[in-house]
Amino acid sequence: MAKLIDDTQYFKQNSNLTQKEQEVIKLNYRFRFFNSNQIQALLNHKSDSRLNGWLVKLTKEGYLIRDYKRIWGEGNKPAVYGLDKKGAKYLLNILKIKSRYLSNIAEEENVSSVTVNHSIKALDFYLAIRDYAISKGHSIDYYTERDLDNEDYKVILKPDGYFKYITKKGSADCFIEIDLETETRATFRQKIAKYLDYYYSDKWKKHFKEFPVIGVVCITQTRLENLLLDTEEKLKEYNNPPVEIKFTTFERIKDEGLGSDIWKVTFSEEFDSLL
């Protein structure tokens, strides 16, 4: 990959980005891709025209790349935005965000539809858990895949996200896996094995008081049932360690809400809450 040169002096002399426009770029870095509806929700912004003005400016000036509909062909969906080279340079040189991803970013025009869709669905989950926490008067510390770049366990586990859910009674930790049926079941079993190896290594104790719950979000019930069976087999193989792995679908999150008992647990017919 082509490395980005330091354009600090150029940006200082020529950039006229507002705080909100900088925030849009930073959010795009964190979530990798978002659509126009999602960025409006992220910013809690009610003015479509003002937000669209920011997005048009950032796209015209080369900070963002707009519209991946032509790649993943899903009709009249909201425009999707990704980080362009100028945006990556700005984050590196002006905002001083240290990231291997930013240092080596190439043009994203050939990004796969799988990558785009995965980022969009991961952001959907974040918005759901954020809004649920707000509705309950709770708080949440959420880390995207990009936020976790410098964590040692990211190299081993590669979760799609991690969050700490905080209430007056205490807190709980959770890894999130977004499954869009683009990986084989064998690959998923390997992923679960890495979590179980990490549990037995005791390295997690450096980061967490208790081993985090692992939440897997699927797009179909059939896939959920298959992955549940695979996970139970892997847990048996590892002598059933006390690792909680729970499964749900995006449809159940949408229809019943994250606060409901919509998570299928291993070795049980019951459904549970996530945490």
The secondary structure of 132-163 as a DSSP string is HHHHTT-EEEEEETTTTTT-HHHHHH--SEEE
What are the residue ranges of CATH 1.10.10.10 in the chain?
8-111
Residue pLDDT, tens place only, 87-111: 988 998 888 887 777 776 654 556 7
| Signed CA dihedral, 17, 19, 20, 26: sign only | positive
Residue pLDDT, tens place only, 209-222: 999 999 999 999 99
Q: Would you state the pLDDT for residue 72?
A: 47
Q: Would you state the pLDDT for residue 1?
A: 31
Which two tokens mark 135?
A: 């509705």
Q: Would you state the pLDDT for residue 75?
A: 59
The full DSSP string for the chain is -PPPP--HHHHHHH----HHHHHHHHHHHHHSEEEHHHHHHHHT---HHHHHHHHHHHHHTTSEEE--HHHH--SSPPPEEEE-HHHHHHHHHTS----HHHHT----TT--HHHHHHHHHHHHHHHHHHHHHHHTT-EEEEEETTTTTT-HHHHHH--SEEEEEEETTEEEEEEEEE--S-S-HHHHHHHHHHHHHHHHHTGGGGT-SSPPEEEEEES-HHHHHHHHHHHHHHHHHTT--S--EEEEEHHHHHHH-TTSS-EEETT-S-EE---
Residue pLDDT, tens place only, 182-229: 999 999 999 999 999 999 999 999 999 999 999 999 999 999 999 999
Q: Was domain 116-272 assigned CATH 3.40.1350?
A: yes
Fold category of 8-111 in CATH: Arc Repressor Mutant, subunit A (1.10.10)
- How high is the mean pLDDT of the chain? 89
What value does the mean pLDDT take over residues 3-19?
Answer: 59
pTM of the full structure:
0.90
Q: At what angle do helices 36-43 and 113-135 cross, to 10 degrees?
A: 30
Which two tokens mark 143?
A: 């880390």
Q: In 3D, which of 89, 102, 34 has the Cα closest to residue 61?
A: 89
Q: Is the pLDDT of residue 74 over 70?
A: no
What are the residue ranges of CATH 3.40.1350 in the chain?
116-272
Residue pLDDT, tens place only, 15-57: 689 999 999 999 999 999 999 999 999 999 877 889 999 999 9
